Amino acid sequence: MEFLQPATWPEALAMKAAHPEALPIAGGTDVMVEINFDRQRPASVIDLTRIADLDEWGMDGAFLRIGAGVTYARIIDELGDRLPGLAMASRTVGSPQIRNRGTVGGNLGSASPAGDAHPPLLASDALVELASATGARRLPAREFYIGPKRNAMRKDELIAAFLVEPAKGPQQFCKVGTRNAMVIAVCSFAVALDAERRQVGTGIGSAAPTPVTAGEAETFMEGVLDEGGLWERPTAIPASALARFGELVAAAARPIDDVRGTAAYRRHALAVLARRSLTWAWDEHRSSASA
């Protein structure tokens, strides 16, 4: 196996252009499992861990631009106040060791429907920045996932960063697993309230061929909050509206039966997660509005 080890970002992009089949490796928490179980035998690997640019984050206009190599542990420690939904999801990833090595860039690279970073990225309308030797482009996360473990990255591209606005309202993330830790999601759900734009963002994990949003549920709940004047006078969301929101989230999923759970269970659980997480987020909005 050829081992390529660029020291700079331009060098990494040049190497990827020259070796489009080379497999990038960041934390290695997915790549090494694939190699150790002989599911992949790449002829060459590009080690991205020496590239300082990938470990940086900062403001870029209205967005936080977070390098693809920033680990879950750093998201929790350094960005938990600005990205509470992503931080909640990050706290559920693997173990401390996995959170110290694993990166959001790697989660995007693997594009597993069960990846925990995806629902909060979808709920808060994140962008993914892809770069090649010929230039960079930014793609909405909603267009990035194109199939099971497939994403929109070209063979000559690498993931440079993801961009997301600091939270403009409460965010929540919920995950159902077969045990409390070190678990692949049976299903997961993220919600992000944007009090400025009066928007409700959603993201569903592990219940469709790709991570998906629940567009009808978003539009429905935005209507309930707008028409009821709830953003101005934040009283409780009517139980019937919460129930409908849950139903629409469940309807947006396209789950399968597999070893972790049945499709029917996933739909049921998603409806419950959606109701609960929206209630928690709305309660937080109500208490901050009345403070």
28 binds ligand FAD (CB under 6 A): yes
Provide, rounded to whole angstroms, the least separation between the CB of residue 88 and ligand FAD. Answer: 12
Q: Among residues 6 and 246, whose Cβ is nearest to ligand FAD?
A: 6
93 or 141: whose CB is closer to ligand FAD? 93
Could you tell me which stretch among 1-9, 23-31, 76-84, 263-271 binds ligand FAD (CB under 6 A)? 23-31
How many residues touch ligand FAD under the rule CB under 6 A: the total is: 29
Footprint (CB under 6 A) of ligand FAD, residues 173-192: 182
In the complex, what is the shortest distance from the CB of residue 277 to ligand FAD, in angstroms, rounded to a whole number?
A: 18
* Per CB under 6 A, 251 contacts ligand FAD: no
Q: To the nearest whole angstrom, how small is the minimum distance from the Cβ of residue 101 to ligand FAD? A: 6
With binding defined as CB under 6 A, does residue 26 bind ligand FAD? yes
Applying CB under 6 A, does 6 fall inside the site for ligand FAD? no
DSSP assignment of the chain equals -EEE--SSHHHHHHHHHH-TTPEEESS-TTHHHHHHTTS---SEEEE-TT-GGGG-EEEETTEEEEETT-BHHHHHHHHTTT-HHHHHHHHTSS-HHHHHH-BHHHHHHHT-TT-TTHHHHHHTT-EEEEEETTEEEEEEHHHHEEETTEES--TT-EEEEEEEPPPSS-EEEEEE-SSSSS---SEEEEEEEETTTTEEEEEEESSSSS-B--HHHHHHHHHHHHHTTTTTS--PPPHHHHHHHHHHHHHH-----BTTB-HHHHHHHHHHHHHHHHHHHHHHHHHHHH-
Pick the binder of ligand FAD from 29, 124, 172, 202 (CB under 6 A): 29
Q: Which of 74, 101, 267, 275 binds ligand FAD (CB under 6 A)?
A: 101
Q: At its nearest, how many Å lie between ligand FAD and the CB of residue 13?
A: 10
User: Minimum CB separation from ligand FAD for residue 68, in Å?
Assistant: 4
- Contacting positions for ligand FAD (CB under 6 A): 23-31, 33, 48, 68, 92-94, 98, 101-103, 105-107, 109-110, 115-116, 158-159, 182
